[in-house]
Every structure is written in structure tokens, then in C-alpha cells.
Chain A
Amino acid sequence: MRETFVAGTTAILDEDPRTALVLADISAAAFEPVRERHPDRVLNVGIRESLLVGVAGGLAQTGLRPIAHSYAPFLVERAFEQIKLDFGNQDGHGVLVSVGASYDNAQAGRSHHAPGDVALIDTLPGWEVRVPGHPDEVDPLLRHAVGGDGSVYLRLSTRSNDGAHAGTDGRLVPLRTGHRAVVVAVGPMLSAVLAATVGLDVTVAYTNTVRPFDAAGLRELAGATGDTVILVEPYLAGTSARVVDDALLDRPHRTLGLGVRRVDLHRFGTPADHDDAHGLTPDALRHAIAGFLLPR
């Protein structure tokens, strides 16, 4: 996904003089060719994430459309107050694009893991959150984000499904239909969810957009399943549980939020090892999903 992002952003910077890219060394080498063509709009501030977001906020104040890019924990967690104040409180907008996700670089340890990024962004009003599940979803989402005028968080990962399954409209895409629950697979969790639910009588719906969440689509799909909803998100478990509750406020419903657990493992290894530890393998997901279904 990072390669797709680099190619797409390079093209956007060439096409649209209203756009700018701010970097903090991460991915700087990949953007060097376009920086040479547009040195005033491709800015590498060095390893300074507070400044990265502050500069992007300042660019927005002058009418440019900034893209700020870094590793997820440094972009969102270290510079969170800058995101809150230098964009939102200034009535300014931009596009944040992260790599690293929850534990793409598992071996690097907790410092490089950001399972809480979406939950943090979700404390701020008005942000769109896009979580592509395949490299082919990245470029349309990127162009949609940069071409708009709101604030967008685009969360890239090295994890991926077997293909693209959604565009940019933010709608839930039903891929399987059943009667006992709707399982919402977010971004790169889809492949594991499809494997986990083989033979289960559940609806599987995919989305790459969690804010704004497709509440209307969920109401429709959940209504056919007794309003039993299971979220499978590739970041902190339960991050979208509140939007499910809001969507079904007037109907008795049951919600299970699966995702990265609130535990600091102090382990390295591979992303697959961490999937195992957080109960996000197909076998573990199947056990959790089947266990949440009411007896017939």
C-alpha cells in the first residue's frame, strides 16, 4: 500500500498545484523525485513530528491542501495535540496518511505499534477515517481524500486481503448473507473473517470506511439477523462499537467488538504472532463469532 500511496501522491502533486506533502524523514527517499520537481510543495522537516503536523496546519491556513505522512504512532500519537489544534481548532483541514498500522512491524516493539490511532482520531469531530484492505483500494481513497476539502485519516498497512472489495462511497458491502449475525470486517481483516465464517449462518459485510460509518447500511443488514452485530477491526477492539450502538439506538441489539486487545505484550516476532496473541486468527475469530451467536 505504501508504494501505491507514493505513486498516487506523486501524480497528485504533479497534477494539482494546490496540494502539498509534508514528511518527517519516513518515506522521504521515495518522494525525492517529486520533491526535486516541486521543492516548495514537498517538504521534509526531518524527524520532527510535532512540526510535521504544525506545518501542515499552517499550509492549510494559506489555502493549500496538505498531506502529512509518517509512521502511525508518531503521526497520530506523538503529534495528537497538533492534530487537534493545528487543524480542527483553526478550522483547517488536511489529509493524514500513516503506515505501520497496529503491528505491521511487530519486531520493532510497542513504540512502533499504534492500535489506538483510530480511537484517538475518533475523539475529534469531523474526521473521515479510511482503512483500505487492499493496495487497489488505496489510490481511489487517496484521490477522494485529497480532492475533497475535509479532514481525512488514511490508515495504510502491509496487511492485505485477496482483492479490493470497496470503493470510496463508504458503504458496507455485503459479501455473504446469513441470518444469525452481521459480521463487519474492516480493512485488512476481511480475509481472516471470510475464512473464519465458512459454514456459519452469518452475513459478512466489508468496509474500508469507519468514519463516517454506514449506519443506514448496518441497520438494513442487522435487521435481517436479529440485530446481532460483530465488528472485526484491525485496531483497538471496540473502537466502532459506539457507532453501532448509535445506529441501532431504537432497537434492542447485541454488539461484539473484536480487534487488538488492550494489553502490552512486550513481544516481538511477526504480525501473525500478534494476530494469534490478540485472537485475530481465523480459528480464534471463528470461536469468538460462533460463541456470540444466540442458540437457535
Chain B
Amino acid sequence: MTTATEDLLGYEDLPALLTRMTGDEKHEPSATSTLDVLWVLYDRVLRVDPDNLHDPARDRFLLSKGHGPAAYYAVLAAKGFFPTDLLDDFGSYDSPLGYHPDRTRLPGVEISSGSLGHGLPLGVGVALGLRAQGFPDARTYVLVGDAELDEGSNHEAIAYAGATGLASLTVVVVDNRSATHGWPGGIGARFAAHGWSTATVDGRNHRALESALTTPLPGRPHVVVATVEDKY
């Protein structure tokens, strides 16, 4: 697989990478709500990089909330999963960078997403598959949006993962209060009712995100609710 040969970029380079995709200095909320979470995951948490993309024991990151993928593409490019030149052609017919990510087109993308409510059930299956094949240290991370949680398929997965103590699974909910009917009592409570360990942190605070993402409780799946600015 071809990977970028240029030097790896830093957090401070991400705005310029985003601008290459959107052509606009002011970025859509859906594209930037996930930016800090994604950066912390790829910079400090995930055991995956362009050199171990096919290692069966790597960590898996599944971006379920596939819309507004510019931040995801910017972080993957900064980390060298593909050349930054690809950003300039974002969304064209020949580009591997669609308005929703496609795992068959772009190195580092673990799932093709778009339709909401698929990443978490898939993530449960991935975590179970890794466990069945003897990779106990491989963690599976799934990023969903708070509005995406409205999809019922997520709740099938939340209930099952909690009931069976699927401890290698971590869900990150980026909460910008865009769910039409909200989550009374908080999103964490919804997971906690099914036995998940939970943490709710400032989704722009890198240290807090890293701490929350790396301290799951044993024997339980883990959710980190990353709170960011309101979408509207």
C-alpha cells in the first residue's frame, strides 16, 4: 500500500488541511465537531499507523458518523495514511475521498459509512471477531454522533455489548446536542443502564480526552461522551 512519504504533520496543520478540502477558512460544524477527538485518538490512543494497516492485532477505529468526514481525512493525511495531495480533489468521481468514507478506496479507513447506525453493531462484531481469534489486546473504537444515537440499531448493540461485558469495545459519542429529541438524563446514563463504564469530558480538551479514552473499567465496554459546542 502506498503511504505518504512527507514528514508527519501536527495538530496545528489540520486547519490548512481542512481548507484544502472545503476551500473555505470557515468549516462546517459537522466536519469540525470530531476534530479534537480524532486527533487525540490517532495521536495518543490508537495502536494503528500506516505501517501496521494489515496487522490483525491492530486497534480498529470505526467512524460510524461518516458525514462531514473532512476532519477524519485531515487527521489520516496528517498521520501519513495517504498523501495530502488527495485532499485537493475531495468528492470528485475519481477521488478516493467521498463525502462518506469508503474502506475499499482509502488506506486506514476501517468501515464504509454514511447510513447512520451501522458502525456500532459492526464494531461489536469486530470486537467479538478479534476476541475469538485470540487478539485480547486489540481494542475496537467506534465514533458516533449524539443524533446518530437515535437510530435503534445502536441500542441493540449497546444492550448486547453491556450484557455480555464486551470490554474491548470503546465508543466515543461526540455530543453537539443535535439529536432532535435529546437524551434526558444524559447520554452516559443511557449506556450506564446497560452496564457500560462511562466518562463525560470536554471534547476539545486533549488531556481530558486521552485520560477518558485510556481508562476503561475492566470487564465492561466503555463509552466516552465528548461534549463540544452546540451544532445550532
- Count of A-B contacts with CB under 8 A? 101
- Would A61 and B56 be within 8 Å (CB), given that A40-B131, A45-B160, A55-B128 are in contact? no
**B interface residues, how many (CB within 8 angstroms):** 31
Chain B 111-148: CB-based contact to A (< 8 A → 1; otherwise 0): 11011011011111111111111000000000000000
CB-CB < 8 A to B124: which residues of A?
A: 51, 54-55, 58
The reply to whether B125 and A55 contact each other, CB–CB distance below 8 Å, is: yes
The reply to whether A20 and B115 contact each other, CB–CB distance below 8 Å, is: no
Within the assembled complex, what's the spacing in Å between the Cα atoms of A63 and B60? Answer: 13
A191 contacts partner chain B, Cβ-Cβ < 8 Å: no
- Would A51 and B156 be within 8 Å (CB), given that A61-B110, A85-B118 are in contact? yes
The reply to whether B132 and A58 contact each other, CB–CB distance below 8 Å, is: no
User: Which A34-66 residues have C-beta < 8 A from chain B?
Assistant: 40-41, 43, 45-46, 48, 50-51, 53-64, 66
- Nearest B residue to A62 by beta-carbon distance? B129
Contact of A56 among B115, B125, B157 (CB under 8 A): B125
The reply to whether A85 and B56 contact each other, CB–CB distance below 8 Å, is: no
- Would A86 and B122 be within 8 Å (CB), given that A45-B156, A46-B160, A51-B156 are in contact? yes
Within the assembled complex, what's the spacing in Å between the Cα atoms of A258 and B153? Answer: 37
- Tell which of B114, B118, B124, B159 has the most Cβ of chain A within 10 Å: B118
The reply to whether B121 and A58 contact each other, CB–CB distance below 8 Å, is: yes
B182 contacts partner chain A, Cβ-Cβ < 8 Å: no
- Given A20-B132, A54-B153, A58-B121, 9 more A-B residue pairs with CB atoms under 8 Å apart are A20-B128, A57-B122, A58-B129, A60-B125, A62-B132, A64-B129, A85-B112, A91-B103, A91-B104
A→B interface (CB under 8 Å): 20, 22, 40-41, 43, 45-46, 48, 50-51, 53-64, 66, 81-82, 85-86, 89-91
Q: List 21 A-B contacts (CB under 8 A).
A: A20-B129, A43-B128, A50-B121, A50-B152, A50-B153, A51-B121, A51-B124, A54-B157, A55-B125, A57-B122, A57-B125, A59-B129, A61-B125, A63-B129, A63-B133, A66-B125, A81-B115, A82-B118, A85-B114, A85-B115, A86-B118
